[in-house]
Structure 1
Amino acid sequence: MRIYKYLMLFALVGGLFTSCSKDDDVVSTDDTPTEQKQIEGNLELEIKDFIWKGLNYWYLYKGEVPELADNAFSTESEYIEFLEGYSTPESFFNEGLLYEEDRFSWIVDDYEELENTFAGVRTTTGINYGLAYIDSDSNDLVGIIRYIVEGSPADMEGLQRGMLFTEIDGQQLTLENYRTLLGSETLTFGFAEFTENGIEANGMETTLTKVQLNENPILVAKTLDVDGIKVGYLMYNSFVHDYDDELNDVFAQFKNDGVTELVLDLRYNGGGRVSTAVDLASMITGQFKDKIIIRTKYNANIDAQLSEASKVTRFDDMIFDGNESDHPDHTPMPINSLNLDKVYVLATGSSASASELIINGLAPYINVVHVGKKTVGKVQASITLYDANVPYYEKVGLNPDHKYAMQPLISTSTNADGEAYPGGLIPDIEVSEKWDNFGTLGDPNEPLLAAALNDITSNRSFLRAIDEGKFIPNVVGESFEEEDAYRNMYIDVPAGEEFKKMKVTDFKD
């Protein structure tokens, strides 16, 4: 029965809901409050009740939202009236409870779709694109293909990185219509090219229908021999836990190849799972096991209950180590580490969250050379909360009547030295992608990679590749921005076993 879950709310608000108000003329055959029955008999109220309880328990900005205070409501009826004051669960979440400065929390009505996104499964043509103004005099946009997902419809049609498009279904892309046009299930791309007069349509068209794909975030992994130096190059596009084994295999190959320098390409990587980022940092290094990579802070109620040890995340030497050993379908695997004391990271305005964690988390320990542009600046992490038994992140006792889930921010972090990057990380070597000199990913003459190789080797021949090209775009949109998980950094089980031992009553005022 769901009575248990509602009773947990009573404890959360300091015993407020332990009895009916004297003003309520209630005749009942049991001890269940009338308002509780109202919630259990109304699916929309059940969902809103879950939203309030989950945010009251976990939300990083609980202290900034008066409606989430444990003593926010003086009577049960007042609480019910508050739930009923919003027309939908979405409006209740976004307008009633979300902190005004929070840009990254969201709610979904189908947690299975959300879980697929985190696993790298999405419905797509296979084109990862960026969008920019054609010129400064209009809102007309041009898109460029940044990369193609292997095995996708776009791959089957032979589309390639660097191809430009200006039209979808015969309509010019503009700032006002691009989300609608690119959101269609079937799209006809109208291609364009650079000419002496600027960007012009070339008459080529391709029609693609979106399909569900599993995108491997490891797009390119290769060892380059540059002036006798073995340089590992890894283009990694999302921190997806399902591909950790393959990521570890890449580093095994780098070790076998004798790699002594590494260029990690995160230029389009918007983030993902924190534990994968920690494992990747441990693959790059290896000599810092058990050293702190990030320090984490939660809301005041949760933070006060945790030991200092549980509020830090450390370098490790095993995939699925620690808390992750709870996954019975996986076997712990030793991490293949390069033991580097320097790494080059290609990062841009599309790099966020876990990508930034890599740069900032490694900085106290090794020389991290950031090549590219300033990053997004996202230091908070979120967690998936289900309408389930407390503490809500475990799918135990799920409400079978709906699939709503929340992804609220629950923590913020710094590196071991207490440094964060809310304004974005500034590059050490600033290089812009020029769309008329886009290059091939993994090719030593691709401008961002060439900038890193020039610094590694001091080979001035790379400067020509860096300097060519004139079209530096003002990017206004890109792939996946329509997804709720866009630029997200998330965790599964926060603070390990300590949270499993905690009860809701621990958070009473």
Structure 2
Amino acid sequence: MKRLILFMVVALLLSGCSNSNSGNQQCSIAEQNSVWFSYLQDWYLFYQDLPSEIDPNSYASVAAMLEAVRSSQDRFSYIITKQDYDAFFNSGSYFGYGFSLDTEQVADAYVIRYVFSGSGADNAGLQRGDQLISINGYSVTEIKQQSLDSATVYGPDQDGYTISVTYRDAQSNTITTDIVKGVVTTNTVFDVRSFNTSAGTVGYLSFQHGFIEPSENELSSAFATLSADNPEQLILDLRYNGGGRISIAQQLASLIGGDNTAGEVFGTLTFNDKHTNENSTYSFVSLLDDLNITRLIVLTTDNTCSASEMVINGLMPFLDVVVVGGTTCGKPIGMSPQEYCEMVMSAINFKVTNANDYGEYFDGLTAQCSVADQIVADWGSLDDPLLAEGIYFAENSSCSNVVRPELLSRSLQSQELPTYQSILFGNRY
């Protein structure tokens, strides 16, 4: 039986109301605050950092309570509705246009990070690297200057609602098109291919936007393609993958490791001292179409998080693993989501270590070759600085001369880190 996100479900007695109707006394905000705080006192990894008690009437929401009591070591715990949880992790769907945006790279535009297959944005011809300069009659400059809200810019959550966008493509052409809003079924594999290089065949897999239920079949199909090419090295692109289910992390790591890792320890989960009986170890498994590579090159940013980091850290004792891009988010800890009153809390429950018992990467996994993520081309293009650097390392076993690590090192004291929810769910529209 598959285990749930990050990564196994602990059988807790969080019974009670069947819905979040405020008229149901059991599901009042105060009652929820009380129940959830009791849960944290028992299962939270950092329970020693919690206050001894709370006034459940003092917080307007469970999210406010969680934010107030969380440990200073924890920037990851969160709570969302059961509907949103199921949509993301189980069905892999949401309501929107089907793209994710980088809102900072270009002053007068939003740059498309990725487009989901079959979405309104995909049907309109948008792709990674396109720059939106006008949305629904508002210039992006105007949107930024006036801090216009999402509903104003993107319209209501109404099936079939259509907006007009104007964008610049990779050839600097200015194009205007319409995008239709609807239910978006998200994909997590965005590109799979192989490159013929001076070092032999190098595989490439772009795996973004979560380790979720639909990823299992997507990865199986992707590795059937890669295995047929028999690559000597693999470039694994995880730059926007914020994590998810441990079963998918185990699958991905096993497909990469192949005979090098089969039967070895992939990762160990260690709970707090109240629940040591829940500690468990996951092993690499033998899978159809797994690879036999000599080196893994991983493309990363500070949005590479959680299960993505577990894959990297879990493979390091057994393979030559090279990290290219930016320092990862730093989440060697995980959560066992729990449901109460139609809400799902994902609070930190355990720490994660590899076969060498290493898991102290709270400051992130550092890139050997530091390269800034610049969205200038679609997936698989050698115009992409991260992929180009990955190919260079595959051919030369060293970083290129253009890499400037001193310009890209991250100071945790001076740089505001993205929230885990923004990493996990992305700037999706």
SS at match of 2:275: helix
Describe the shift of the 1:100–1:184 C-alpha distance in structure 2 as closer, same or farther (beyond 3 A): farther
Which of 319, 325, 339 is residue 386 of structure 1 equivalent to?
A: 339
1:173 aligns with 2:177: no
Determine the structure 2 residue equivalent to 1:260: 232
Determine the structure 2 residue equivalent to 1:447: 385
Determine the structure 2 residue equivalent to 1:189: 165
SS at match of 1:450: helix
Partners of 2:292 and 2:302 lie apart in 1 by 28
In the TM superposition, what is the alpha-carbon distance from 1:288 to its structure 2 partner? 1.9
Q: Is the 8 A contact 2:317 2:355 kept in 1?
A: yes
Determine the structure 2 residue equivalent to 1:155: 122
Q: Is the 8 A contact 1:233 1:442 kept in 2?
A: yes
Q: Is the 8 A contact 2:79 2:344 kept in 1?
A: yes
Aligned length: 382
Determine the structure 2 residue equivalent to 1:128: 100
Determine the structure 1 residue equivalent to 2:368: 428
Describe the shift of the 1:259–1:53 C-alpha distance in structure 2 as closer, same or farther (beyond 3 A): same
Q: Is the 8 A contact 1:133 1:141 kept in 2?
A: no
Partners of 2:420 and 2:333 lie apart in 1 by 18
Determine the structure 2 residue equivalent to 1:372: 325
Partners of 1:366 and 1:146 lie apart in 2 by 30
In the TM superposition, what is the alpha-carbon distance from 1:379 to its structure 2 partner? 1.7
Determine the structure 2 residue equivalent to 1:409: 348
In the TM superposition, what is the alpha-carbon distance from 1:41 to its structure 2 partner? 4.7
Q: Is the 8 A contact 1:272 1:353 kept in 2?
A: yes
1:234 aligns with 2:205: yes
In the TM superposition, what is the alpha-carbon distance from 1:152 to its structure 2 partner? 0.9
Describe the shift of the 1:7–1:342 C-alpha distance in structure 2 as closer, same or farther (beyond 3 A): closer
SS at match of 2:268: strand
Partners of 2:87 and 2:199 lie apart in 1 by 43
In the TM superposition, what is the alpha-carbon distance from 1:64 to its structure 2 partner? 0.6
Partners of 1:111 and 1:296 lie apart in 2 by 25
Task: Name the stretch that deviates more: 258-267 or 221-230.
Answer: 221-230
Partners of 1:432 and 1:6 lie apart in 2 by 44
Which amino acid in 2 is paired with 1:145? I
Determine the structure 2 residue equivalent to 1:216: 187
TM-score by length of 2: 0.77
Q: Is the 8 A contact 1:54 1:385 kept in 2?
A: no
SS at match of 1:144: strand
Which amino acid in 2 is paired with 1:421? Y
Partners of 2:104 and 2:344 lie apart in 1 by 34
SS at match of 1:410: strand
Which of 209, 227, 251 is residue 279 of structure 1 equivalent to?
A: 251
In the TM superposition, what is the alpha-carbon distance from 1:452 to its structure 2 partner? 1.8
Partners of 2:95 and 2:47 lie apart in 1 by 34
Describe the shift of the 1:341–1:463 C-alpha distance in structure 2 as closer, same or farther (beyond 3 A): closer
> Whose RCO is larger (CA < 8 A, sep 6+)?
2
Task: Name the stretch that deviates more: 186-195 or 421-430.
Answer: 186-195
Partners of 1:430 and 1:6 lie apart in 2 by 45
Q: Deviations over 1:439-481 (max 9, x none)?
A: 3311345332222222223499x979x89xxxx9x9xxxxxx8
1:60 aligns with 2:45: yes
Q: How does 1:212-361 map to 2 (within 5 A)?
A: 212-227=183-198, 229-237=200-208, 238-286=210-258, 287-303=260-276, 305-306=277-278, 310-317=279-286, 334-361=287-314
Q: Is the 8 A contact 2:40 2:47 kept in 1?
A: yes
1:43 aligns with 2:27: yes
Q: Deviations over 1:161-215 (max 9, x none)?
A: 22112443414232772663666446543435899xxx9xx87544434322111
Partners of 2:84 and 2:15 lie apart in 1 by 30
In the TM superposition, what is the alpha-carbon distance from 1:284 to its structure 2 partner? 0.6
Determine the structure 2 residue equivalent to 1:94: 67
Which amino acid in 2 is paired with 1:148? V
Partners of 1:483 and 1:99 lie apart in 2 by 15
Q: Is the 8 A contact 2:326 2:371 kept in 1?
A: yes
In the TM superposition, what is the alpha-carbon distance from 1:375 to its structure 2 partner? 1.6
Partners of 2:271 and 2:154 lie apart in 1 by 36
Determine the structure 2 residue equivalent to 1:27: none
Identity of aligned residues (%): 25
Partners of 1:312 and 1:449 lie apart in 2 by 33
Unaligned runs of 5+ in 2: 1-11, 17-22, 411-417
Partners of 1:358 and 1:5 lie apart in 2 by 32
TM-score by length of 1: 0.66
Which amino acid in 1 is paired with 2:167? F
Describe the shift of the 1:357–1:145 C-alpha distance in structure 2 as closer, same or farther (beyond 3 A): same
In the TM superposition, what is the alpha-carbon distance from 1:254 to its structure 2 partner? 2.0
Partners of 1:221 and 1:6 lie apart in 2 by 42
In the TM superposition, what is the alpha-carbon distance from 1:111 to its structure 2 partner? 0.3
Unaligned runs of 5+ in 1: 9-38, 73-78, 135-139, 318-333, 388-401, 475-480, 489-509
Task: Name the stretch that deviates more: 86-95 or 161-170.
Answer: 86-95
In the TM superposition, what is the alpha-carbon distance from 1:297 to its structure 2 partner? 2.6
Partners of 2:421 and 2:369 lie apart in 1 by 32
In the TM superposition, what is the alpha-carbon distance from 1:121 to its structure 2 partner? 1.2
Q: Is the 8 A contact 1:293 1:361 kept in 2?
A: yes
Q: Is the 8 A contact 1:240 1:276 kept in 2?
A: yes
